Amino acid sequence: MGLLSITRKIKRKEKEMRILMVGLDNSGKTTIVLKINGEDTSVISPTLGFNIKTIACQKYTLNIWDVGGQRTIRSYWRNYFEQTDGLVWVVDSSDLRRLDDCKMELDNLLKEERLSGASLLILANKQDIKGALTPAEIAKVRSLVDNLNCKTEYNTPVTMFDQRNLI
Ligand SMILES: Nc1nc2c(ncn2[C@@H]2O[C@H](COP(=O)(O)OP(=O)(O)O)[C@@H](O)[C@H]2O)c(=O)[nH]1
Ligand SMILES: [Mg+2]
């Protein structure tokens, strides 16, 4: 499920698509992309710019843009919006302190005209950490999205260290 569900929905005819991974810094975006690509995740540095990975996923070619999420560089996210097919918003479910910040940033992102046609996956990451919010609690982020009349069809809880849940 997850990414693959998005890809199926997005463009049934087109086989190549652009996926934008965003979310607050430290939510696990780079780890997820590396895991999907079968790469080592034991040492990961904060992403200051962006990484692109082209991944073959069944009959699709996914160009995954993993963009740094630190507060100071969030204003650059807009440079990556063009032609985005799928938006993956990664939440650190254990970061209760920044949940409001997380909601606010997602709220802002979904006001973007250029993302209006993109499908959204909210990924409740770090479920393995004790005290992490459950996917149902993370879904409050989604209700905020629904208030904006944006269409969200996927809200898939994923535990990063269980790769079977990823795709
Ligand atoms: N416990 C736990 N740690 C994770 C998980 N996913 C990522 N991490 C850790 O969270 C930290 C930030 O990950 P990173 O991929 O750099 O986050 P990014 O800033 O969103 O790209 C790293 O130390 C990862 O090992 C997860 O599901 N569970
Ligand atoms: Mg990163």
Map out the domains of the chain as residue ranges: 17-165
CATH homologous superfamily of 17-165: P-loop containing nucleotide triphosphate hydrolases (3.40.50.300)
- Look at residue 150 in the predicted model and tell me its pLDDT: 46
Place of tokens 């997602």: 106
Below-50 pLDDT ranges, the chain: 147-155, 167
Is the CB–ligand 1 distance for residue 160 below 6 Å? Answer: yes
Q: How far is it, in rounded angstroms, from Cα 104 to Cα 115?
A: 16
Q: What is the pLDDT of residues 70-98, one digit of tens each?
A: 999 889 999 999 999 999 989 999 999 99
Query: 57 alpha carbon to ligand 2 midpoint, in Å?
Result: 21
- Look at residue 119 in the predicted model and tell me its pLDDT: 84
Q: What pTM does this model have?
A: 0.85
Q: How far is it, in rounded angstroms, from Cα 14 to Cα 131?
A: 41
